[in-house]
Each structure stands twice: as C-alpha cells, then as structure tokens.
A and B are shown apart, each in its own frame.
Chain A
C-alpha cells in the first residue's frame, strides 16, 4: 500500500496512518462520514465522526445510540498524528469535504458536492490541496445547469398552472437534500404543503434540531381527497409506480433531478415535467472545483470516472479513476438506471 496518505481499499477511502475510514461501506472502528446520504453513511461502524449538522439525520438513520463525534467546519482535530478538518461541500445539509494533512501533504476527499449556494447547506468552499478526490456524477459536457432561480421560477409557474386547472402538483425528488432545497427556494404562500412519510419525518427531524424549514402536513388516509386539489405534494422518486400516488388524481407529476437534462431519462420516467435541478456539480463546476484546489493529482470516483479523468489528463491535471460503491445515491428505490456509475476499472492503490 506504500505510504500514501489515503488509499482506495475497495472498502473505503482509508487513512492507514490514522486508521480512519472515510465513508466506509463495511463496519469499521473509526469512520468519518462526509454526508448522511445512504451510499456514504453506512450502518455498523463503532465510532463515527461528522459535521454537526449531519447529526440528526445520522442518528435517525444509523441509530440514536451510535457513537458519534461532531465537529464544526474548519475545526482541526488529529488522530495518530494526522491532521483532519471538515470543510463545506454544499451538497446537502452537513455535507463536508475531508481535509487530511501530514508532513505538509494535503489530501481532500470531497464526497459529493455542488458549487451553487442552495440557501440551506453551507456553500462549497475550495480547499487547497495536493491531491483531490472528486465525484463525477455529471462528468459529461452535456450536463450544464441553469442558475437555480430559473428552475424555481419554472416550478412556481408549473404549480400555479396546476392550481388553476384544479390539479395537485406532485413533486418528486430526493428526500434528503433536494426537498429542503426546494422548500427554501420556491415561493410559498400560506398554503398547506403535503408530504410523503419519508420527507415528512426528515423535515420534522431537521425542524426539531433547530433548522429553519416550513412545517409539512403528512399525507394520511384520513385526509379528504378534495384537499389535494391544487395542492403541492412532496414525494420521494419511488412513488411514481406505487398506488400511493393515485389518491392525488387529477395531478401533474414533476421530478427534480439533474438527469432530467436528457430527454431519454425524462421520457422513461414518464413524468409530466422534469426540473433540471441537481445537488451535484455540473460539468463546468466540476472543472472549476478541481482547478480551484490547485491539486497536482486528482482521483475521480463515482460517475463518469473514465471520461472525466481522461479529460483532466488531457488538460494537464494528472488524474486516475477509482472504483467505489458511492453513487447508488441515497434513497429508497431510486432505480439504478439513472445511475451512470459504471466504472469497471480496478481500484487504484498508490
């Protein structure tokens, strides 16, 4: 394994000197968790460390009694002589890049990230480093996001139109991340917002932890169907093929995801309206992020790994692709089909 600060063991991103695993997908002694999405925060480790804003969700998902230490962004701590600190990744609430330093060598494992300020999570902060580990979920030049305000305007217009037609607006997106972002950015009147249980319970958890989010109303059998007329209903992406959704008829079905940029993905989901909104960096922002770290070596994890690493190499940034288990992204039953994590190259060991 040599003396490299971080290694790709096939089980985690591992710091041997500190005996610490970043986002391990098997139970370990000590795990640093970049963020609370289920493909990064796995159950069963003895000790966890994360940013403090991840705590409520991690306890909810991994168990109230897990051993969890939390830190602030920028707070330094060391383990076995290796220096660590977490820095904002802007992906979802509490998401962090992990900075690892020893003997003036700095590595940053960025987990998932985006550059645009979503008005809920702390915005991404570039961290200077020698080696940068980046995701590449949307690492193709076909993925270029518009400023989010345009998308939220579309969302508002869609909801207003549905309202005027007496239809419910059923809006699907990831429960953790996307939904809070939507709630912080769409125009909310004093209307009741309905939510699926998965979204409702997360929202309650975050509200009780002190986060500023509007209250939601849980969709239950007891609610009279006519109340859904013209209402906004928030749902995870798994509901479109379930009987749960039938009670909202007539409704228009919207889906928020970066994958909606491509017609094929949109049509296959058979949604009425795709909103191109992602909590991952688009092509341009991936490039911006990599450059802003000043890294001389980049490891590309989950996504279009081979494409993005080849692109970086051709642009004079030494890059290699790494196979990880990340990118099965979060969430109940999101079909694997929308996940391009198809890298088959062997894990890189330095």
Chain B
C-alpha cells in the first residue's frame, strides 16, 4: 500500500502530464503484477463496489475520533472530500504499523459484502488502525466515492506503452471492454490477446477538437466530408459471435438500455463494429437532447418512456468489417463500405446513415451551420477523406465546428463551497435572472469558467457579502454579474424559473454590468421558444 499511496499522492500533487506519465511508468515498472492489475482497474474506472454506506462510515469515523456527527459534517464541508476528512479526524499516526500490498487490501475488502454492519465496522476500523494518515485517505478511495486523481485513460495508456514497449494503440484497445481485475491478470490483459475475452471489446473512440481559426484554412473543400454533429450519446455498436454490445463513449456497456437497437442483432453481418450517435428520434427526425435525457439513468425503461423517447442509431463510421479491423482504411473507403452496408440493412427511424452535407465551397456552409439547432444538431463535423480512424482526441483530420452556446447575463445569488481541489473555496454558484416582479429567480448552477484569480476574488466577495446561511449554502448580496453560457434549454415545471438549461457554465465575469442590466426571465423564455 505504501507504494500505491505514494503514487496516488504524487499524481495528485502535480498537474504536469509528463510528470504523471513518469510516475505511472515507474509504478508499472516496479509494482507486482497483482498490484498492477488493481491499479489499472482503478485508473480505468473498474473499482468493484463494496456497498459501503457513507452515512454509516461517517458515524464510525466520528465515533473513533471522539467528535459529534455535526462536527464531522462541518469538517467534511470544509475539506470537501469524505475519505480525506476521515483520514484527518482519526487519531494521527505517522507510519503504518503493518504493510499490506494493494492487492492484499482488495482481498481484505472482498470479505465486506458478506458481512453484517457490525462486522463491516470492525473490519474497516481495523484497517484504519493499521494505516498512516495518507494511507487511510487512499484506502478510503478504494472503498467509496469516485476514484479521481487526474489521470486520464490516455495518460495510463502512454505510461503503459512506455513501460512495456507495446504500441500505445494496442494498449488502448486491450484496456477497453469488460475485463475485471478478479478475472484476469496484468500479463494476460496486456501481453496475451485472449480471443474470447475480446468479443465485447470496443475500439478506442476517435475524438475531434474544436476547429481553430477559419474553416477555409482547412484547404480544398473537396478533400473533406461534412456531417451534422448529432446531439446524442456517442456510441459503438459491436456484433461479434452472435452477440450485440452497445458501448457509450464513457466506456459504459449500455446494451440493455437501448432495446430498440437490439433488432441489429438479426441484421448485421458477423464481425461488425459501427461508430455513431444514439439520439432521440421520431417521424424521420432527430429530437433535441433533452428528450433523450428523460431516459438516461432510468433503471426501468417503462413502456411510457420508450414511447415518449424512442431512440435511433445514426451511424457514421465502420470500424470492423467481417471481423477485420479496418480503421486504417481511409475515411472515404470506410464511408463507401458503410453506405453499402446501410443500403442492405437500414431501418427507418432506428438505424440510419448519417448523411453527408453537400457543398461546393466552404462559404456554402455558413448559412446551413446556423440552422444546426433546427436540425437537432450541435453544428458540423468535418472529416478529411484521406484520414484513418485514430485513437483518442487528435488534431488535424477530424474537427468539430459547434454552434455558439446560448448565453445570458445573470446575477450571482447563492454560493456553496466546492469539492476536491476547490474544497475551501466558494466555487459552486447559483445565478438568477429578473422576473416580472423585479425579483431574482435562480435558473442555473455553474462551476467552471473562472480563472483561479477570479475565483479568489469571488470567494472573497462571498465571504464578505453573505446574507444568510442554509447549511452549506449562502445567500449573497446580489452584486456580481456573469455571462452564463449553456448548450440547451427546455421547459421544466420542477424549477422555480420554469426552465432548465443544459451544461451551464460561466463564460465571463461582466464587471462592466450593473445588476439592473442583467437578463430577465422573459428573455430566457424567448430563447426557449426559439429553441423548440
């Protein structure tokens, strides 16, 4: 555990990519195989769930630290991270008393699910007693909450590739799919391709950067395909060994969530992998994202939901044909093969080819781009005809050209402390706009978009201008105006304002604007109308 705790803390401490790669590489060179597979599982979001109740664990920690529960909660509010708070309030030890490796700790933890609450308490307290403060913190990350340490999949891949001398695209591919640290080993996963395990394995997604500068700089318009950028869930559909798998970009296996698409099982030829977008779709038309949103995260897909928010798969790329990886063919060749496939198998309203936009010159696109929202799209995707299907986010061959976000000027009305990196700062803001009675109605919460310096200034303002406290939330004197951007808007009876916006974020601090000039609810409703 010492080795892994040290890795975690060092990763946490640096923002420099090269340093992180170096740390990971070093870990993968010296840790045991058993520990490595667990570390990989953690870094790729495969930590097993131990069903720890976080209220219970807070109570255990508070009791052990001899403090009342309210004081524990105050501490948690200030630290912003439960696992860290526990490590700080428990009696301090400088060194761990007994060294267990990462995999040994997971063996220890594997007993938890079969235990009674009382046994669980003893089991966890016993672990805490053996560990130093830093180790308790990392240990807590193993059992609950989100395991985040600023290490992306790309970074892990890079480090592994350097540590093993295996090509990074191969590593990226081998890390995908359904593997678990309990059912495979580091050796098997990274060095030996096992055909059976890999049936469900998706390819790493090729992701685009936003276009920089003007599009005419991309050169000859003839060299490019342009498609709508669909506003849905980026997904890969795999049909191998008589089984259908639907993977979303977040690397979730979501096959069961889209029963409408199971029809593909009887249509697709064996050994087919498709890249496309799952969108809400009805009457030959894609619908805005918020329709799809109503069924995301639902455990039970009722008939009603399936009727109200039917989905389709708009396919734009073919990655595997007859069991052969064709990602190295050009976009043009892949497109041709895809079109041939769809000629045979398309299903109206369910399985649709993403159409190419016809244009002669770049200038032809301007007007059409403005109509993206009417087409339930976020803008255009530009794809070079000669490009191969790459791994991860790469510049050059694919670009996304999104429509400008919607925006309004709004007033800061509530604030709350952030989490993690921003735990001691007020960084979670709620913004309001003026209603007809000249009152500020909250309409959006936003976190990001300010510089550290601005955050410090706003934080200072909040501390000096708090009107009331409700638990962790503060009401603030209305004085600061911000431009809030968002991606979508829809009516929402659940919100006081009657509207809900999608992906709100702070575009800039309007220091030039007095609050009287902030936007009105009426303005927002106008945007809503034009958006539908």
Residues of A bordering B, CB below 8 Å: 140-144, 146, 150, 241, 259, 261-268, 270, 272, 304, 307, 310-311, 314, 335-342, 344
A residues less than 8 Å from B12 (CB atoms): 263, 267
Q: Is the CB of B15 within 8 A of A270?
A: yes
CB of A141 within 8 A of CB of B15, answer no
Q: Please tell me if the beta carbons of A341 and B463 are within 8 angstroms of each other in the complex.
A: yes
A311 to B68, CA, bound (A): 9
Query: How far does the alpha carbon of A141 sit from the alpha carbon of B71 in the complex, in Å?
Result: 8
Q: Cβ of B13 < 8 Å from any Cβ of A?
A: yes
Which of A140, A259, A335 is the one whose CB lies under 8 Å from B74?
Answer: A140
Question: How distant is B276 from chain A, measured CB to nearest CB, in Å?
Answer: 38
- A141 near B466: Cβ-Cβ < 8 Å: no
Q: Closest CB of chain A to B13's CB: distance in Å? A: 7
User: Is B422 in contact with A142, judged by CB distance below 8 angstroms?
Assistant: no
Q: Are B75 and A264 in contact (CB under 8 A)?
A: no
The answer to whether B67 has its CB under 8 Å from any CB of chain A is yes
Report the Cα distance A197→B531, complex, angstroms.
58
B81 touching A142 by the CB < 8 A rule? no
Query: Which residues of chain B in 447-477 are interfacial with respect to chain A, using CB atoms and an 8 Å cutoff?
Result: 452-453, 455-456, 459-460, 463, 466, 468-469
How far apart sit A314 and B71, CA to CA, in the bound complex (Å)? 11
**Complex contacts, B74 vs chain A, CB 8 Å:** 140, 304, 307
Supposing A262-B88, A341-B463 touch, asked if A268 and B81 sit within 8 A by C-beta, the answer is no
- Cα of A241 to Cα of B426 in the assembled complex, Å: 21
Assuming the A-B contacts A140-B74, A259-B424, are A264 and B80 also in contact, with contact meaning beta carbons closer than 8 angstroms in the complex? Answer: yes
Q: List 23 A-B contacts (CB under 8 A).
A: A142-B88, A142-B89, A144-B88, A144-B92, A146-B92, A150-B94, A262-B88, A262-B424, A263-B81, A264-B81, A264-B418, A264-B419, A264-B421, A264-B424, A265-B423, A267-B13, A268-B422, A272-B13, A272-B14, A335-B460, A337-B460, A342-B466, A344-B469
Query: Does B65 touch A at the CB level, under 8 Å?
Result: yes
B75 touches A142 (CB 8 A): yes
The 4 nearest A-B residue pairs measured at CB = A264-B423, A336-B460, A142-B88, A335-B456
CB distance from A247 to the nearest CB of B (A): 20
Contact of A140 among B78, B425, B466 (CB under 8 A): B78
CA distance A262 to B455 in the complex (A): 18
* Alpha-carbon separation in the docked complex, A146 to B93 (Å): 10
Question: Which chain B residues in 388-447 approach chain A with CB under 8 Å?
Answer: 418-425
Rounded to whole angstroms, the CA-CA distance of A144 and B68 in the bound complex is 17
Q: Give min CB distance, A297 to chain B, whole Å.
A: 21
Chain B residues positioned under 8 Å from A310 (CB to CB): 70
User: Is B459 a contact partner of A337 (Cβ separation < 8 A)?
Assistant: yes
A340 touches B78 (CB 8 A): yes
Q: Tell me which of A241, A263, A272, A342 has the highest count of chain B C-beta atoms within 10 A of its own C-beta.
A: A263
Set A262, A336, A342: member contacting B456, Cβ < 8 A: A336
Q: Does B350 contact A (CB under 8 A)?
A: no
Q: Is the interface of B mostly helix, strand, loop or mixed?
A: helix
* With known contacts A141-B71, A144-B92, A342-B463, A268–B78 Cβ distance under 8 A: no
What is the distance, in angstroms, from A331's C-beta to the closest C-beta of chain B? 14
Residue of B nearest to A147 (CB): B94
Interface centre among B79, B80, B137, B418 (most CB of A within 10 A): B79
B residues near A263, Cβ cutoff 8 Å: 12, 79, 81, 84, 137, 420-421, 423
Task: Find residues 1-39 in chain B having any chain A CB closer than 8 Å to their own CB.
Answer: 12-15
Answer whether residue B85 sits at the interface, using C-beta atoms and an 8 A cutoff. yes
Asked if A141 and B463 sit within 8 Å, CB to CB, the answer is no
- Contact of B75 (CB < 8 Å), options: A140, A268, A344: A140
**Could you tell me the distance between the alpha carbons of A260 and B79 in the complex, rounded to whole angstroms?**
11
Evaluate contact between B425 and A268: CB separation under 8 angstroms.
yes
Contacts of A241 in B (CB 8 A): 453
Q: Is the CB of A337 within 8 A of B420?
A: no
User: A141 contacts B67, CB within 8 Å?
Assistant: yes
The answer to whether A264 and B420 have CB atoms under 8 Å apart is yes
B453 to chain A: which residues have CB within 8 Å?
241
Closest to B464 in A: A336
Complex Cα–Cα for A272 and B15 (A): 10
Asked if A141 and B459 sit within 8 Å, CB to CB, the answer is no
Q: How far is the CA of A344 from the CA of B70 in the complex (A)?
A: 19
Query: Which of A265, A270, A307 contacts B71 (CB under 8 A)?
Result: A307
Q: Are B423 and A262 touching (Cβ within 8 A)?
A: yes
A337 touches B455 (CB 8 A): yes
Q: A141-B65, A259-B424 are in contact. Are A337 and B456 (CB under 8 A)?
A: yes
Give which listed residue, B84, B418, B469, contacts A262 with CB less than 8 A.
B84
A140 to B92, CA, bound (A): 15
| B65 to chain A: closest residue by CB | A141
Q: In the complex, which residues of chain A have a beta carbon less than 8 angstroms from the beta carbon of B468?
A: 344
Decide: A146 near B79, CB < 8 A? Known: A262-B84, A266-B13: no
Closest CB in chain B relative to A346 CB, distance in Å:
13
Given A141-B89, A270-B15, are A264 and B422 also a contact pair (CB < 8 Å)?
yes
Which residues in B have their C-beta under 8 angstroms from that of A335? Answer: 456, 460
Across the interface, which residues of B come within 8 angstroms of A261, CB to CB? 88
Residue on B with the closest CB to A314?
B68
CB pair B459 A142 closer than 8 Å? no
| Distance of A143 Cα from B79 Cα, bound (Å) | 11
Shortest distance between the CB of A226 and any CB in chain B (Å): 24
Given contacts A264-B421, A336-B460, A340-B424, contact A142 B455 (CB under 8 A): no
Closest A-chain residue to B72, C-beta based? A141
Q: Complex: how many Å from CA A146 to CA B88?
A: 12
Q: Is the CB of B79 within 8 A of A142?
A: yes
Residues of A within 8 A of B456 (CB): 335-337
Partner of B452, one of A142, A143, A268, A342: A268
Tell me the complex Cα distance, A265–B423, Å.
7
By CB atoms of chain B within 10 A, which of A267, A337, A341 has the most? A337
Residues of A within 8 A of B459 (CB): 336-337
A269 to B71, CA, bound (A): 26
The minimal Cβ–Cβ distance linking A308 to chain B, given in whole angstroms, is 10
Are A262's CB and B79's CB within 8 A? yes
A143 nearest in chain B by CB position:
B88
Chain B contacts for A272, CB-based, 8 A:
13-14
A140 CA to B72 CA, complexed, in Å: 9
* CB-based contact A267/B463 at 8 Å: no
Cβ-defined contact, B94 with A146, below 8 A? yes
With A and B bound together, what is the CA distance between A195 and B463 in angstroms?
33
**How distant is the Cα of A307 from the Cα of B455 in the complex, in angstroms?**
25
Kindly list chain B residues whose C-beta atoms are within 8 Å of the C-beta of A262: 78-79, 84, 88, 423-424
B14 nearest CB neighbor, chain A only:
A272
Q: How far is the CA of A341 from the CA of B424 in the complex (A)?
A: 11
List the B side residues contacting A142 at CB < 8 Å. 75, 78-79, 85, 88-89
List the B side residues contacting A338 at CB < 8 Å.
Answer: 424
A311 to chain B, nearest CB (A): 6
Cα A301 to Cα B457 with chains together (Å): 23
Cα distance A342–B416 when bound, in Å? 12
Given A263-B12, A314-B68, A341-B463, A141 and B75 contact (CB-CB distance below 8 Å):
yes
Nearest-neighbour CB distance to chain A for B93, whole angstroms, equals: 11
Compute how far the CA of A263 lies from the CA of B15 in the bound complex, rounded to whole angstroms: 14
Among A150, A266, A310, A342, the most chain B Cβ lie within 10 Å of the Cβ of A342
Residue of B nearest to A270 (CB): B15
6 further A-B contacts with Cβ under 8 Å, apart from A150-B94, A262-B88, are A142-B89, A144-B88, A146-B94, A264-B79, A264-B424, A267-B421
Contacts of B89 in A (CB 8 A): 141-142
A338 to B452, CA, bound (A): 13
Q: Write out, one digit per residue, whether chain B residues 487-523 have a CB within 8 A of any chain A CB (1) or not (0).
A: 0000000000000000000000000000000000000
* B residues in contact with A144, CB < 8 Å: 88, 92
Q: Tell me, rounded to whole Å, the shortest Cβ–Cβ distance linking B498 to chain A.
A: 31
